[in-house]
Structure 1
Amino acid sequence: MIALSLSDISRAVNGALHLTDASSATDLVDGSVQTDSRLSEPGSIFVAKFGAVTDGHLFAPDASGRGAVLLIVEHLLDLPVTQIVVADSVAALGALAAAVVARVRAVGNLKVVAVTGSNGKTTTKNLLRSMLERVGPTVAPRGSFNNQVGAPMTMLEVTFETRFLVIEMGASSEGAIANLVRLVRPDIGIVLIVGLAHAGEFGDLDATVRAKSEMVTDLLETDVAVLNADDPRVAQMAAITPARIVRFGEYGQADVRASDLNSGRTGTTFTLHLASGQSATVEFRVLGEHHVMNALAAAAAAEVLGVSLGDIVAALQATTRAERWRMEVLGGKDDITVINDAYNASPDSMSAALKTLAQIGTPGRRTIAVLGEMAELGELAGDEHDRIGLLAVRLNISQMIVVGPAARRMHISTINEGSWDGESAYVDTPDEAFDLVRRSVNPGDTVLVKSSNSAGLRFLGDRLGDLFS
């Protein structure tokens, strides 16, 4: 974190400062900010927050012992370390992050890009970071830091030398993105797609649209909204934002678009057309044609920020995977390919992964889909799992292995289709799935492992990748 005095921090978080005998309100703090005491280090700040299963205040002694010089807490602790007592530690974390970003913007040339969407946020963020790093110092989230804790943690990493800040914004309820937008005030807001991911939390698709629209409603006339022209729900957001619109897509009147797509086992080749009229061929090695849309979104934002076509193309061609456990290509022994895409799953991303599997399978060899639960779909879960099972049949996937009771309807729907005879198997555990794949896989086969994070199949994908490497 940039150096701030204890009194500055206290004012930023609207808290009560409690000094030790050895501290002063003018003392500067410039260490990292942590919510995990195990990551605390000399000079750091520890924010004690209440979690789903524990209370961060219980770990404040550990943070202090590791060198934290300031605790942000919701009640005063009997510890010999400076503390700021606040009403809500998570809100205080956001307020501190907002103050840091505002101070950096006041004296520097910082530009902020925020990304949201039901799918593709992390991939787009990673691609955009790669593009922007070629121009200047860039801060972007580690992993999927995209909620009311993760986004402020990323914001706190900016310095006076930072030129670009990329923020990934997820939401579990209406109002969450709006709150993050108010904290960081993006110069560019990207909306990728509105789908059924987390539909169980939002309640219905209309609520999801409203939540994602929060990305653009509070943008200024001087800001830019980057919108997916191919998704009608996203495209209509142009009517509710005062910002300048830049559209991306493969169809219609997109400002930034792709043409001449040719997908295969090594990625997708396409022609990238920028809003400026420039174009170039891109050999994009991230597996799955659906990731081209993420590339277009990143390219659209990068062009607005002055990144050259050459740097945009170079960044895209240097990227070989979307992220750990996202369409990650493993294996290779006996020409067996394992695609580990089990970090997250929604009906949209599951469909895209199955279509990719069908598209890249080696002629004359089998395609095997190992599928687990799509979580957080609420009352839509049954119908959506049925739909994925039917899609696997219609794509002529050679073998489907469904893992876990929550995903069993995919198996039932495939066998009820009547066009298969033994091509779908059901197992209760990832270990059983591993044994089944190990016994049945043949040279040249392609294996997809896909599920929500909670199903734990990403580790099964790693095991299979190791087995066939």
Structure 2
Amino acid sequence: MIELTLDEIAAAVDGRLVPGASGATGATAVTGESQTDSREVAEGQIFFARRGEETDGHRFAAKAVDSGAALLVVEREVDDRVPQIVVADSTDALGALATEVVRRVRGAGGLRIVGITGSNGKTTTKNLVAAMADRLGPTVASAKSFNNEVGGPLTMLRVEAGTETLVAEMGASAEGEITRLTDMAQPHIGVVLTVGLAHAGGFGGIETTFRTKSEMVRALDATGVAVLNRDDPRVARMAELTEARVRWFGQSEAADVRASDIVGDASGTRFTLHADGASRPVRFRVLGEHHVMNALAAATVGLELGLDLDAVVETLEAAVVAAPGRMEVLGGRDGITIINDAYNASPDSMSAALRTLAQVRRPDARSVAVLGAMSELGELAGDEHDRIGLQVVRLGISELVVVGADARRLHISAINEGSWDGESVLFDSADDAFDYLKSGLRPGDTVLVKSSNAAGLQALGDRLGAEFAPASDATTEEVTA
């Protein structure tokens, strides 16, 4: 974070400074990063004590001080060993401080802000864009999937005086949440990837999702750039809602940055990248053809930031690892491949992952889908689980292993579609599924593990990866998204 005095921080968050027993004054400077998890606090950092649904951060303030916190932002006084700033709402204060830091660095000139939203693909695209921005100068990007009212400002508060680019995921589970983030850090470039059914239950329907995602382009002014998916009809409609210049990506001939000749296999995807009248072959090592769209979005941003096409291609081809649980390739013993994609799931990403499984399996071996529930679908949950169960059968997946009662309709739909001879099995727990797979997988099998994070199957994918790791190599190749 940039250097700010305690008085400046208190003013930014509309709080009351309590110096405590440390001898600090309003002129005392703080430069450390901000944390909301006391376990993450390091020397010189700021701890924001938030009240959550299940716990209260004020209970852990003493632990944060023990770990070296230089400042507490609290809703009530808790520990006088270090200065405290007392505020009405710690989460609001976190956002207010992020707004002030970004305002100051942006006002000094040179800070470019890229905002990324969409129902699927935000983290992959963010990581690719960050890699491109890194080629041009110091870059701050969201860690993990930090994209909400807490993760967003925590990312913004890592900006320093020399930061040239801020790459921020901006997610939402309700209308207004993306606007809240863009008010903290108005993007110069706003990316919208897809409008799909992720969080549809919380949003209340696809049109509400559309309005929410369109908050990204509405935040752009006439000097900004909207990077939009030409192949998604709802995203394409957003061109009418922004003052910004529009740059299209997709497979459509109408896209400014597009892909053709797409061929995928177990090692990634090959395609031809077309932009600004030039073309280049690309060997993209992130598994799954659906990630080509994320690569195109990132390429469009890279070009807007000032990279030439060759540098964009070099960056795409260097991408291998992004985050655990996202099309992460594990295993390898006896030719058994585990694809752990259970960090999260929506109907669109589940469908894409299944198509990838069908595509990359060995011709002479089996494909096994280990699936859990997709959460936050509301009244659409039943129909969408039915649709995925049907797709498993129609893609010719060799075996379906369904985990958890919430995913039961996947199992029933597959049986109704024709998997009545044991091709689909249902287990109540991940432990039971692990025992079954441990003894039942065959040499050469390709296994996809996919569910929403709430279903808890990422750990199952990790266990299977470890179980079938080559005996002589404890580390496995990762190709994640």
Band the TM-score falls in, shorter-chain normalisation: over 0.9
Match of 1:371 in 2: 371
* Amino acid corresponding to residue 282 of structure 1 in structure 2: V
The aligned counterpart of 1:68 is: 69
* 2:44 aligned partner: 43
The C-alpha deviation readout for 1:105-163, integer Å capped at 9, x for no partner, is 12231100010001000000011111111111111111100110001000011111111
Structure 2: how far apart are the matches of 1:157 and 1:48?
18
* Partner amino acid, structure 2, of 1:286: V
Per-residue CA deviations over 1:426-451 (Å, capped at 9, x if unaligned) read 11111111122222221111111111
Deviation at 1:60, TM superposition (A): 1.3
Residue of structure 2 in register with 1:159 after alignment: 160
User: Aligned residue for 2:408?
Assistant: 408
Deviation at 1:321, TM superposition (A): 3.8
**Aligned pairs for 1:60-459 within 5 A:** 60-77=61-78, 79-274=80-275, 276-418=276-418, 420-459=420-459
Show the counterpart of 1:30.
Answer: 31
Q: Secondary structure at the match of 1:338?
A: strand
Check conservation: 2:262, 2:270, Cα contact below 8 A: yes
Residue by residue over 1:85-122, the C-alpha shift from the partner in whole angstroms, topping out at 9 and shown as x without a partner, is: 11111111011011111111122311000100010000
- The alpha-carbon deviation at position 206 of structure 1 amounts to 0.8
Query: What's 2:461 paired with?
Result: 461
Q: Offset at 1:322?
A: 4.3
Q: TM-score, normalised by structure 2?
A: 0.95
Q: How many angstroms apart in 2 are the aligned matches of 1:127 and 1:229?
A: 19
Deviation at 1:462, TM superposition (A): 1.1
What amino acid does structure 1 have at the position aligned with 2:287? L
- Rounded to whole Å, the distance in 2 between the matches of 1:149 and 1:277 is 41
SS in 1 for 2:214: helix
CA contact (8 A) 1:108 1:160 kept: no
Question: 1:51 & 1:226 partners in 2: Cα distance?
Answer: 35
- Offset of 1:164 from its aligned partner? 0.8
Partners of 1:321 and 1:327 within 8 A in 2: no
C-alpha separation between the residues in 2 aligned to 1:377 and 1:386?
Answer: 13
Take 1:77 and 1:442, find their aligned partners in 2: how far apart are those partners?
58
What's the CA shift for 1:14?
1.2
Structure 1 length normalisation: TM-score?
0.98
Deviations 1:270-305 (A, max 9, x none): 01112x222211000110000000000011011101
| Seq. identity, % | 60
Kindly state the Cα deviation for residue 420 of structure 1 after the two structures are TM-superposed.
4.5
Equivalenced residue count is: 468
C-alpha deviation, 1:77, in angstroms: 2.9
Output one character per residue of 1:211-252: Cα deviation in whole Å (capped at 9) or x when no partner. 101011121000001000000000000000000000100124
Task: Give, in whole Å, the separation in 1 of the partners of 2:324 and 2:82.
Answer: 39
Kept after mapping to 2: 8 A contact 1:393/1:420: no
- Alignment match, 2:474: none
Conservation of the 8 A alpha-carbon contact between 2:346 and 2:452: yes
For structure 1, which runs of at least 5 residues remain unmatched after alignment? none
Q: Distance in 2 between matches of 1:244 and 1:405?
A: 48
Q: Which string of whole-angstrom CA distances, capped at 9 and with x for unpartnered residues, describes residues 355-412 of structure 1?
A: 0011111112111000001011111111110100000011010100000000010000
SS in 2 for 1:350: helix
Amino acid at match of 1:323: A
Letter in 1 for 2:352: A
For structure 1, which segment, 350-359 or 248-257, has the greater mean C-alpha deviation from structure 2 after superposition?
248-257
Q: Which runs of 4+ in 1 moved over 3 A?
A: none
SS of the equivalent of 2:20 reads coil
Residues 49 and 55 in structure 1, CA contact (< 8 A), matched pair in contact too = yes
Shift of 1:76: 2.6
Name the SS for the 2:315 alignment partner.
helix
CA distance in 2, matches of 1:155, 1:9: 15
Deviations 1:308-330 (A, max 9, x none): 21221111111124421101111
Moved more, 76-85 or 118-127: 76-85
Q: CA deviation at 1:41?
A: 2.7
Q: Residues of 1 paired with 2:355 and 2:79: CA distance?
A: 58
* Structure-1 residue corresponding to 2:12: 12
Deviation at 1:42, TM superposition (A): 2.7
Gaps of 5+ in 2: 470-481
Give yes or no for contact 1:229–1:252 (8 Å, CA) kept in 2.
no
What SS does the aligned partner of 1:269 have? Answer: strand
- Deviation, 1:20, is 3.1
Larger deviation: 438-447 or 296-305? Answer: 438-447
- 1:230–1:252 CA contact under 8 A, matched in 2: no
| Aligned partners of 2:119 and 2:195 also within 8 Å | yes
Q: Is the 8 A contact 2:146 2:155 kept in 1?
A: yes
1: CA distance, partners of 2:316 / 2:154:
27
Alpha-carbon contact 1:374-1:452 (below 8 Å) kept: yes
Contact 1:71/1:84 (CA < 8 Å) preserved in 2? Answer: yes
Task: Compare 175-184 and 332-341 and name the one that shifted more.
Answer: 332-341
RMSD, aligned α-carbons? 1.2
Aligned residues of 1:287 and 1:321 also touching (Cα < 8 A): no
Does structure 2 conserve the Cα–Cα contact (< 8 Å) formed by 1:112 and 1:167? yes
Contact 1:191–1:226 (CA<8 Å) still a contact in 2? yes
